[in-house]
Structure formats: structure tokens, C-alpha cells
Structure 1
Amino acid sequence: MYGILLSALWSALAWVARSVLVKFVLYFGLFFITTEFIQILTTILPDGSSLRSAFGGLPGSMWWLMNIMQFNVGVPMVLSAYATRFIIRRIPVIG
């Protein structure tokens, strides 16, 4: 009986070591690389000062139309979707 329990314990530990532990290390590495890549990428990308100056010259009627179309909600959504798509396609394991 002791041999059966010991065999079952070693089988369970082997499964944990082979599947769970390896996947945890792999996915943690991907998470760490991705978060560090995004931090580096945000320092390289330009800030929004050029967009502020570009939209500063718009007349009031254009701002009214952009507010009706929820431009302030839609543009950040589209830009973040494009950034997410870019990042996912650059990770070789996922994309």
C-alpha cells in the first residue's frame, strides 16, 4: 500500500513539475518581457503635444460636431486597439 501511495505522489509531482511549473515560468517570462517592452515603447513614442496643437486650430462648429460623434471616446479606443494589435502580432508565441 505504501508503494502505491508513493507512486501516486511521485506521479502527481512529476505532472506538476512538467506541466504547471514549466507553463508558469514560460508565461511569466512572456508577461515580464511584454510589460518591459511597453515601458520602453512609451518612452520612445511621442507625447500628445503635436495633437493638441493640431486640434487647437479647429473652429467651434467642428468641435461641436466632434463632441456629438463622441470623438473624445472613439479615438483613444481605436488607437489602443491598434497598439494592442501591434503588440500581439509581435509576440511570436501568441501572434
Structure 2
Amino acid sequence: MFAILLSAVNTLLAFLVRGVLIKFVVFTALYFIVSELVSAMVSLLPNGSSLTSAFTGISSATWYFLDLFAASQGIPLIIAALVTRFIIRRIPVIG
């Protein structure tokens, strides 16, 4: 009876060490690496202040359709999704 309990405890402990603990350490390290890389990349991005001068050349009819299709909400969502996809594909374990 003692051997069965000892075997069960060893199996449970092996599962926790191999399955849970190692994955926790690896994914925590990946999280910190990705968060640091993203913060470093944000400092390298250009400033968006020059975009206001580019938008002054758009006519009022074009602005009407941009507002009608909610481009002010959709374009940032699309850009965020593309950047997220780019970052996820660069992670060695996932991408």
C-alpha cells in the first residue's frame, strides 16, 4: 500500500515539475522578453504629429465616407491587429 501511495506522489510531483513549473518559467520569461522588446520598439517609432498636415488635403466628401464607415475606429484596430500578428509570429515557440 505504501508503494502505491509513493508512486502516486512521485507521479504527481513529476507532473508538477515537468508540466507546470517549466511552462510557467518559460512563458514568464517570454512575457518579460516580449514586453521589453515592445517598449524598446515604441521608442523607435516615428512621431505622428506630421499626420495632421497630411490629413488637411482630404476633401469634405472623402471625410463624409470615412466617418460613415467609422474609419477612425477601424483603422487603429486593423493596425493593432497587424502589429500583434507580427509580434506573435516572431516568438520562437509560438510562431
The TM-score with structure 1 as length reference comes to: 0.85
Q: Whole-Å Cα distance in 1 between the matches of residues 62 and 14 of structure 2?
A: 65
State the AA in 2 paired with 1:89.
Answer: R
| Distance in 2 between residues matched to 1:10 and 1:85, nearest whole Å | 40
Equivalents in 1 of 2:63, 2:26: separation in Å? 48
Q: Deviations over 1:33-90 (max 9, x none)?
A: 1111111111111132122221133232221121112110121111112111211121
For residues 51 and 91 of structure 1, the distance between their equivalents in structure 2, rounded to whole angstroms, comes to 31
71-80 vs 57-66, which moves further? 57-66
Q: CA deviation at 1:7?
A: 2.7
Structure 2 distance, partners of 1:62, 1:88, is 35
Of all paired residues, the percent bearing the same amino acid is: 46
Show structure 2 runs of 5+ residues with no match. none
Amino acid at match of 1:65: F
TM-score of the two chains, using structure 2 as the length reference: 0.85
Q: Distance in 2 between matches of 1:33 and 1:87?
A: 12
2:60 is the alignment partner of 1:40: no
The alignment status of 1:49 with 2:59, answered yes or no, reads no
Match of 2:67 in 1: 67
Aligned to 1:77: 77
CA distance in 2, matches of 1:12, 1:64: 63
Cα RMSD of the aligned pairs, angstroms, is 1.5
Work out the number of aligned pairs and report it.
Answer: 95
User: 1:27 Cα deviation (Å)?
Assistant: 1.0
